[in-house]
Amino acid sequence: MKLPKAYPVRKTKIIVTLGPATESEELITQLIKTGVNIFRLNMSHARHETIRRIVPLIRKIAFEEQKQIGILLDTQGPAIRTGELPTKLNLKPGDEFTFTVLGYKSAENNSVDVNYDGLINDLHVGDEVIVDNGVLRMEVLEKSHNSLRCKVLTEGVMGSRRHINLPGVRVNLPALTEKDISDVELGCELDVDYVALSFCREAGDIKQLRALCQKFGKSPRIVAKFEDQESVRNLHEIISEADAVMVARGDLGIECLLEELPIIQRKIVKTCLQYFKPVIVATHMLESMIENPYPTRAEITDVANAVFERVDAVMLSGESSVGKYPVSCVDVLDRISRRTERSGGTDHISSVELEGSLEKFVRSAVLLADHIRASAILLFTKTGYMASMAASFRPGWSPIYAFTEQKEIAQKLTLCRAVYPFVLSFEEDSEINIQRAERMLLEKDFLLPGSVIVAVTEFQTNNVIDRSVPRRSVNSVEVRLIQ
């Protein structure tokens, strides 16, 4: 079958983290042209003045390139970190090391303070402390009211402001720190499309973030990040409350047993499909490409496995924020995704029991499009909900061209698998809307004359017998031949 020039055969979306390596107008333009769908702003490192410059720049370039590009603001979250050290410390197995709190300074050379005063109360003798993403592992030997004496288990270097993980420990940290609140306020001011909640532990954390955004007058989509054992224990309630989910395998891989990580990832993906929620797989996807121009074979397979599981998006972190080959990384993700999608994928969604009539209607439209190998699904939505649901049914053949009246809704659909959003003002007559959408897609080379498409619309109908009866919404699905 001949494909139109602009046919977006890749269904898996690509998220790229911006940083010193990619914050220029030239690099952002290249990344968009290479296939980026969403840019991530990592508030663990980004300054407010940088964000104020970058967000309008992304919007400007996206407008010039005639692309809908989403923006994701990722909060730092309540991270536990070490304080400042005058020099780095080389530690070996068997060494003793002391963590201090409450402003206490130890006289020992092998010691550092931490930014969380509750560390002593939360930990017990025998618990494990992991520093700097697993570079150092220690076991708690003894604790006092202001210090924690540990035994070093693995050789490594202790530096300043290193991240600390406490596997299996319920820490009494707030869901949102003062820094997070300030960052979210900035994101709402700049009208970002998504806000990611780091170290989300329960549904109440998401509600708190949503209320904060509403206080600032905005409603970005909330992305819950799975990063510790507690979030996995509360998996269903978190996914039910969130608008989208991120499998953040960096901290999650440290907090959980390594052999459990692939199982947890698959479980989260399957559960997201049950709840019709977009899911992102992130961290270390092409880690070696921070320094090297080509990925490892293991990384290629890891990306392909995520695509085979039909996740909504894969994400780059250090590879694009500080790496040497950010554009090549996007090209690699694009190539792997396109090829893997052609080979099929898991069918998790077929086991989901549908309850509502709208769910059954949308699924029928997707099944029809797959059965007849439709060139596209044209879907008209005011809120974006129907398009997001259609994406959850994972069309195997047809891309979803979603038309909405609001640019903000279009940008919030950039995360959904296989969905390519367009802005179109709606008429009351659904036939006019479909014809205008068809012309737009023909002009942009997204469709060819002679293409068969499935159109999904919601239109208003009158009672022909009694005009005083209020109009009602009717959902419609039809097969059309593009002239």
Asked if residue 288 has pLDDT above 60, the reply is: yes
Q: What is the mean pLDDT of the chain?
A: 92
Asked if residue 458 has pLDDT above 90, the reply is: no
Q: How confident is the model at residue 1 (pLDDT cuts 50, 70, 90)?
A: low
Residue 40 appears among annotated catalytic residues: yes
In order, the DSSP letters of 119-151 are HHHH--TT-EEEETTTTEEEEEEEE-SSEEEEE
Buried-state track 91-110, b at ≥16 Cβ within 10 A, e below 16: beeeeebbbbbeeeebeeeb
In this prediction, residue 473 carries a pLDDT of 65
Q: How confident is the model at residue 76 (pLDDT cuts 50, 70, 90)?
A: very high
Instruction: Tell me which of 143, 162, 225, 412 is the catalytic residue.
Output: 225
In this prediction, residue 468 carries a pLDDT of 54
Tokens of residue 195, six digits: 């806000």
From the CA atom positions of the chain, what is the Rg in Å? 24
Asked if residue 181 has pLDDT above 50, the reply is: yes
Instruction: Tell me which of 40, 143, 210, 310 is the catalytic residue.
Output: 40
Asked if residue 347 has pLDDT above 90, the reply is: no
Q: How confident is the model at residue 263 (pLDDT cuts 50, 70, 90)?
A: very high
Stretch 417-441: mean pLDDT:
94
User: Could you write out the three-class secondary structure of 62-98?
Assistant: HHHHCCCCEEEEECCCCCEEECCCCCCEEECCCCEEE
> What's the first-to-final CA gap in the chain, in angstroms?
17
CB 337 within 8 A of CB 314: yes
In this prediction, residue 145 carries a pLDDT of 86
Instruction: Tell me which of 29, 50, 67, 81 is the catalytic residue.
Output: 81
Residue tagged 């002679």 (tokens)? 450
Asked if residue 467 has pLDDT above 80, the reply is: no
Contacts of residue 265, Cβ cutoff 8 Å, sequence gap at least 6: 247, 249, 281, 309
CB 386 within 8 A of CB 409: no
Sheet containing strand 147-152, strands side by side: 80-81, 163-165, 128-131, 136-143, 147-152, 96-100, 111-113
Bridge-based pairing state of the strands 279-282 and 244-248: parallel
Q: How confident is the model at residue 143 (pLDDT cuts 50, 70, 90)?
A: very high
Tokens of residue 202, six digits: 């329960």
Asked if residue 445 has pLDDT above 60, the reply is: yes
Residue 181: φ, ψ to 5°: -60, -45
Per-residue pLDDT tens digits for 193-223 = 999 999 999 999 999 999 999 999 999 999 9
Asked if residue 425 has pLDDT above 70, the reply is: yes
In this prediction, residue 112 carries a pLDDT of 94
In this prediction, residue 469 carries a pLDDT of 47
Half-sphere exposure of 315 (CA within 13 A, CB side): 27
Which is more confident, 467 or 387? 387
Q: Which pTM value belongs to this model?
A: 0.92
Residue 92 appears among annotated catalytic residues: no
Contacts of residue 238, Cβ cutoff 8 Å, sequence gap at least 6: 200, 202, 203, 206, 224, 226, 231, 245
In this prediction, residue 8 carries a pLDDT of 62
In this prediction, residue 470 carries a pLDDT of 53
At 389 the three-state DSSP class reads helix
Q: Delineate the domains of the chain, giving CATH numbers in brackets.
A: 13-78+174-342 (3.20.20.60), 80-165 (2.40.33.10), 353-481 (3.40.1380.20)
In this prediction, residue 344 carries a pLDDT of 86
In order, the DSSP letters of 239-272 are HHH-SEEEEEHHHHHHHS-GGGHHHHHHHHHHHH
Report d(CA 276, CA 240) in Å as an integer: 9
In this prediction, residue 287 carries a pLDDT of 97
Report d(CA 7, CA 10) in Å as an integer: 9
Q: How confident is the model at residue 171 (pLDDT cuts 50, 70, 90)?
A: confident
At 466 the three-state DSSP class reads coil
Residue 339 appears among annotated catalytic residues: no
Stretch 274-280: mean pLDDT:
94
Q: Kindly state the percentage of the chain with pLDDT values over 90.
A: 81
Stretch 421-425: mean pLDDT:
96
Q: How confident is the model at residue 464 (pLDDT cuts 50, 70, 90)?
A: very low
Tokens of residue 64, six digits: 């010039």
Stretch 336-353: mean pLDDT:
87
In this prediction, residue 346 carries a pLDDT of 86
Instruction: Tell me which of 17, 283, 340, 381 is the catalytic residue.
Output: 283
Evaluated on CA atoms 251, 299, 67, 440, the torsion sign reads negative
Per-residue pLDDT tens digits for 183-195 = 999 999 999 999 9
Closest CA to 36 of 320, 300, 403, 231: 320
Report d(CA 323, CA 446) in Å as an integer: 33
Stretch 417-432: mean pLDDT:
93
Q: Would you give the distance in Å from CA 243 to the centre of its chain? A: 10
Residue 439 appears among annotated catalytic residues: no
Report d(CA 204, CA 215) in Å as an integer: 16
Q: Kindly state the percentage of the chain with pLDDT values over 70.
A: 95
Per-residue pLDDT tens digits for 96-142 = 999 999 777 777 789 999 999 899 999 999 999 999 988 999 999 99
